[in-house]
Amino acid sequence: MGDAAVSALVNEVVGRLTPVAIQEFGLLWGFKNDILTLKNDFTNIQAVLQDAEEKHFREKEVELWLKSLRSASLMVENVLDDVSTAALLQRLHKKRGLKYKVRAFFSLDHNQLMYRVRIAHKVKVIRRNLDAIKTKRFELGLTPGAISHVVMDVVGEMPHRETSSLIHDSSIIYGRNEEMEMLTEKICDKDIGKYENGEIRVHGIWGMGGMGKTTLAQLVYNHQRVDQYFELRCWVYISENFQVKEAMKKIIESSDKCGCTLTQLETLQESLQSKLRGKKFLIVLDDVWIEDDENGKNMWEELRKTLSCGEEESIVLMTTRSQTTCQMFAKVPELQHNLECLSDEDSWLLFEKLAFAEGREGDTISELKPIGMEIVEKCKGMPLALKTLGSLMWSKRSISDWQHVKDNNIWELDEIKVLPAILKLSYDNLAPHSKRCFAYCCLFLKGYELKKDVVIRLWVSNGFITPRGETNLYVIAEEIFNCLVWRSFFQVIKGNKYFGEIDMYKMHDLMHDMAQHVMRHDCLIMEPGKDVIIPNEVLHLSSSYPNFLFSSKDLGKLTSLRSIFMFNEEYECSIKQNFNHEYLRVLYLCGIGLKTLPESICKLKHLKDLNLSNSRIEVLPESIIYLQNLQVLLLHSCRYVHKLPEGLRYLGNLQCLDIRGCDSLLHLPVGIKELTSLRRLPKFPVGKKIGAKIGELKNLNLLEGKLSISRLENVGGLSEAKSANLKCKTNLSVLDLRWSNISKEESRLEMFACDEKVLEGLEPNMCLKGLQIFYYMGKVISPSWMANLRNLVEIEFFHCNKCEYIPPLGRLPNLRVIGLWGMDSLKCFHDNNTNMFPCLEVLNISYCPRLVSLPSNFPKLKVLELKHCMELVSLPDEIQTFIDLNELFIYNCKHLSERYEKELGVDWPKISHIPRITIVLPR
């Protein structure tokens, strides 16, 4: 474990040994004095940790001392978890009744007397080890009170919430506009884009790590001209292990925006070419590493040959650190771009934007600027170094702090080692718990797209988040995550521009390398072909090769493991060995074809996060209720699961239950209402005669994110719908309301009336941002609450076949996206007054065969898509004034296709100003 992880661990132990915890420990187990002594010992040790961390690089004995302290801290954590788990199991047996309490008494796993003996032994061992650690501390001459340059909390590490938009601010890019425009010009040049000898043309960007190659490629990729020039754009991260099949699979996934299950080269080639053939496309291959040998050249030629099937102007844009790789891909010299350092002026502007961002305190800019300019000069124009140090220096208050960084000995290193040293310096200046959270993410493979909510859940499950008064742990964890983004440890790669939320992040390769280094004793990625010795003290394992991992003889010996991750979605894996990892907190077994859950998993009493997504499991055993610490249960796309355990209601700590894509699961077990800690429940199928009814949602008021309520035909009427109490769920951002897709023969008039009453009763909170309605059979969508959704950003209606009218959406002031699909009876909007749709940017209408007209007031419209609207006669004349309209797509709309045909249609002049127009004539 890295030094910072030891600090974080000790801090966590001290934080958990509160007076209340000590009192409870004494009442339950009779060890109050022992625990009080442990608290004092750890507090005294905590005082000398700064000194130990500064010396351990130079003194081997100090490093060994930290290692012993790590082991003792982990043992204390385990004992505290044992105690809290025992209390949870006691409550479980009490809830379940007398016979379960008797059965528990005679069970070795749950017997309280046996537990007390085991706890007493563990406490005794810890006391003995700590005595040795205390003695050694004095022998090593470790002294308390060393001055720390490390910020100890997130508060003060980044700007306040109102200015933290800087972490997503595209204006923090300097000195690349000229190169962006030059590359954009070349990529959109028809002559340069022509094929040569039947091969697709490749443009290359090369330069050392941290120079901004990916950033430049993103600027070009997202350039408005590029977006309008190419029919299809795909972005693929390649990284160190270039494999033809994997590259093809990723391009298909980028094109389809969903997973690809193909595995054979021939079928991958056929599928990829079917998507590219006849299209003008841009494919970005980011961070390419390939050996300059016969095998490497053959792999690239195989991919190039497959890609050479589109329109002539199609382009591949690649980024790489290697000039040789760039020359292999981009054979024409003028298409090889060497990305060089920023100018002195741009370097200062980038550093200044971050270091002196709004909200900083301390000495004035005029006093700090001369020192800052010297620091900038030492960064030699490397953008990643400038961003990392700029955000670090924001938290440095005084001249002496700035001087300390300027005079650091990292500047004496060879040029190639300076950037990694700068990243390490920034890491060293994180608070201990932030260090631990960041470095843990090295378990994800390079280039892996990180979801904020997933990462945060993992941090909480592992106990990395130190409590702070009454503040929710997830709120604290999000603060840490945002701080790490601000400090450039994570990079923004994808977001929902309409909701103003960021969806995906990644770690820069150099950051990933550093994280692996500092957590080399804690975290290990296992891959075949690499001769890896698994250290006994390793805590977290990951692999994309499950059969390789589970066949390892060493796995069963690693009884201290706390995390096991599987990332591959192709393998079928049969797990034969027992999971004897008593203190495992996180277990990801997603996508490995698992058919039966090993019974040993249900004995992992400390497990908090269990991911079985994309598996073939049909049922979960009832014994899963003994996982009383379980906070996260992920069953996403487990298509064969048809029943959840009846005792699910006993998992009182459960905060996330994901059953999206569990198509065989028609209801949740009765008693789901007791899971009042639930924060994420993306799908709730309403039961009828069996299973949980909609009223069980009543008290689940912590739910956040998206909630999809399906099988709404099972709701009896207005009062039953109201019992869901959706109005009190203030943290929900998207509500998805679904009736089942019934055939026309099953349609009944009384059903239509009931649907209208049910919809009226499902009133959401007015903070809602997104609303989706599927297969609603009422004639009108006009609940009284619709006009109250003033924060609504996106609304979509799908296959509401009987609906003749939709509500007056134009009065919703923040609405930016409208989608209408399969509205068979819809004839027109009722929003023709002025000042309607003030913010609408996207209007997508498909399969509305009776629609005859559109509203005329769309002052901010950017995208208009119309498909299969056969009765739609014309577009509003006002379309000539839609100055923001960039994209018009008309597909199989008979009257429109004729009226607006390019150069020939009578109304073509009304739309000819629109930059991107696609009109597909009816067949």
Task: Give the mean pLDDT of 275-303.
Answer: 90
Q: How many residues does the chain have?
A: 923
Regarding predicted confidence, which is higher, 372 or 743?
372
Q: Is 73 within 8 Å of 13 (Cβ atoms)?
A: yes
Regarding predicted confidence, which is higher, 627 or 15?
627
pLDDT band (50, 70, 90) for residue 165: very low
pLDDT digits 0-9 by tens, 657-697: 999 999 999 999 999 999 999 999 999 999 988 999 999 99
User: What is residue 553's predicted lDDT score, i.e. its pLDDT?
Assistant: 72
Task: Give the mean pLDDT of 889-895.
Answer: 93
Least confident segment among 124-133, 151-160, 350-359, 451-460: 151-160
Q: Rounded to an integer, what distance in angstroms lies between the CA atom of residue 487 and that of residue 188?
A: 35
Share of residues in the chain with pLDDT > 90 (%): 56
User: What is residue 554's predicted lDDT score, i.e. its pLDDT?
Assistant: 73
Question: What six digits make up the tokens of 522?
Answer: 């804690």
Q: Is 431 within 8 Å of 153 (Cβ atoms)?
A: yes
614 has pLDDT over 70: yes
CA angle (25 as vertex; 23, 29 as ends), nearest 5:
130
- When mean pLDDT is compared over 110-119, 285-294, 744-753, the highest value belongs to 285-294
> pTM for the whole thing?
0.89
Question: What six digits make up the tokens of 783?
Answer: 């609940």
705 has pLDDT over 60: yes
Task: Give the mean pLDDT of 448-472.
Answer: 91
pLDDT band (50, 70, 90) for residue 150: very low
Question: What six digits make up the tokens of 825?
Answer: 């009876």
Helix (H) or strand (E) holding 7: helix 3-16
- When mean pLDDT is compared over 465-469, 495-499, 662-666, 899-903, the highest value belongs to 662-666
Please state, rounded to an integer, the average pLDDT across all residues of the chain. 87
Share of residues in the chain with pLDDT > 70 (%): 88
Sign of CA dihedral 23, 29, 33, 36: negative
Least confident segment among 118-132, 140-154, 600-614: 140-154
Least confident segment among 115-129, 147-161, 223-237, 905-919: 147-161
Regarding predicted confidence, which is higher, 403 or 196?
403
Q: Is 474 within 8 Å of 460 (Cβ atoms)?
A: yes
Burial class (CB in 10 A: 0-12, 13-18, 19+), 884: exposed
What residue segments make up the domains of the chain, in order of their start? 3-139, 177-338, 342-429
Count CB atoms within 10 A of the CB of residue 622: 13
Q: Is 825 within 8 Å of 850 (Cβ atoms)?
A: yes
Task: Give the mean pLDDT of 5-28.
Answer: 77
pLDDT digits 0-9 by tens, 825-874: 998 887 656 568 999 999 999 999 999 999 888 999 999 999 999 999 99
Regarding predicted confidence, which is higher, 467 or 340?
340
pLDDT digits 0-9 by tens, 230-270: 989 999 998 777 889 989 999 999 888 877 878 899 999 99
Task: Give the mean pLDDT of 4-28.
Answer: 76
CA-nearest of 801, 796, 771 to 786 is 771
User: What is residue 397's predicted lDDT score, i.e. its pLDDT?
Assistant: 84
Beta bridge partners of 297: none
Name the residue with tokens 């994209």. Answer: 887
599 has pLDDT over 60: yes
CATH class of segment(s) 177-338: alpha beta
pLDDT digits 0-9 by tens, 727-782: 999 999 999 999 998 765 455 455 666 899 999 999 999 999 999 999 999 888 88
110 has pLDDT over 60: no
Distances from the Cα of 80 to the Cα of 11, 16, 468, angstroms: 14, 8, 18
Task: Give the mean pLDDT of 425-442.
Answer: 92
User: What is residue 157's predicted lDDT score, i.e. its pLDDT?
Assistant: 64
195 has pLDDT over 70: no
Q: Is 675 within 8 Å of 652 (Cβ atoms)?
A: yes
Q: At what angle do helices 19-29 and 60-96 cross, to 10 degrees?
A: 60
- When mean pLDDT is compared over 4-18, 524-538, 852-866, the highest value belongs to 852-866
Count CB atoms within 10 A of the CB of residue 309: 19
User: What is residue 712's predicted lDDT score, i.e. its pLDDT?
Assistant: 96
86 has pLDDT over 90: no
Sign of CA dihedral 286, 291, 292, 293: negative
